[in-house]
Structure 1
Amino acid sequence: MATNRNIKKVCNTAVEFLENLLNRKAEGIINISTEEECWKIHIEVLERKAVPDTQDQLGIYEVKLDDDMTILQYRKIGMRKRTEMFVEEED
């Protein structure tokens, strides 16, 4: 399932999907993993620009894809200021 080429394709597909959907620029991928038969990617998106930029608001989104690069699910899982650490809550 996980090859370097697959991981890059999964990341690119998830980022492109989220940027097109939200009409916002992704800041970066903070996590990628597999569970059962899907990929789970956490992506940070700039929600609100602030001055100074340490006060920027970042949204954290989870995107799930299958091996065919079909989006199975997406959801917003958190928000943080740029200077704060994101701590994922367990389901």
Structure 2
Amino acid sequence: MATARRDGSGDRESPAERRRRNLPRQTGSKTAAAKSSPERDQKPKRAHQEPDSDDEKGRARARHSLKAAQVARLAVRQVHELTGREPEGVTSLERSETGWVVGVEVVESRRVPDSADILAVYEAELDADGDLVSYHRVDRYARGRGNER
């Protein structure tokens, strides 16, 4: 199949000329670009369907469940945003029936020396998707006296 050149002659265009003009390569009756269009390559989207059996529900839940480290990071970030206090770390992490319960230690008050800082532990409850359901302070203590409570 001959392609017309810019100058109007019917001679075949060389591959170098085609690249310069940025034309797709002709193959058969369709161009290569048309064969691999983004619309054609995408799979049709399915409407959300509820799983039929308990086994399918379990597999669906496993696909959407978060790893413990991800949950811990989410809890630390959300407690920090809500309290405005600097997190020290995660003190506990437990899976519950509805999601996760995470203990986050924060610095309530900085002092000099550091051993006199006032720390607090906030318990954050997150659902299975990692969204914060509730949080509250469960303990408050001086950094150097954590075990004397």
TM-score of the superposed pair, with normalisation by structure 2: 0.53
1:69 and 2:127 are equivalent in the alignment: no
Could you say which structure has the greater relative contact order, defined with CA pairs below 8 angstroms and 6 or more residues apart? 1
1:37 and 2:98 are equivalent in the alignment: yes
Please show how residues 7-26 of structure 1 align to structure 2 within 5 Å.
Answer: 7-26=68-87
1:35: Cα distance to partner? 2.0
Q: Give the number of the structure whose residues are more often strand, by fraction.
A: 1
Structure 1: any 5+ residue segments left out of the alignment? Answer: none
Q: 1:49 aligns with which of 90, 110, 117?
A: 110
Q: Which secondary structure does the structure 1 equivalent of 2:67 belong to?
A: helix
Q: Match of 2:120? A: 59
Q: Give the number of the structure whose residues are more often helix, by fraction.
A: 2
Task: Provide the identity percentage.
Answer: 28
Q: Which amino acid aligns with 2:125?
A: K
Question: Cα distance 1:63–1:86, how it changes in 2: closer, same or farther (>3 A)?
Answer: farther
Q: Which secondary structure does the structure 2 equivalent of 1:50 belong to?
A: coil
Question: Cα distance 1:41–1:87, how it changes in 2: closer, same or farther (>3 A)?
Answer: farther
Structure 2: any 5+ residue segments left out of the alignment? Answer: 1-61
1:87: Cα distance to partner? 8.2
Between the aligned partners of 2:98 and 2:140, the Cα distance in structure 1 is 27
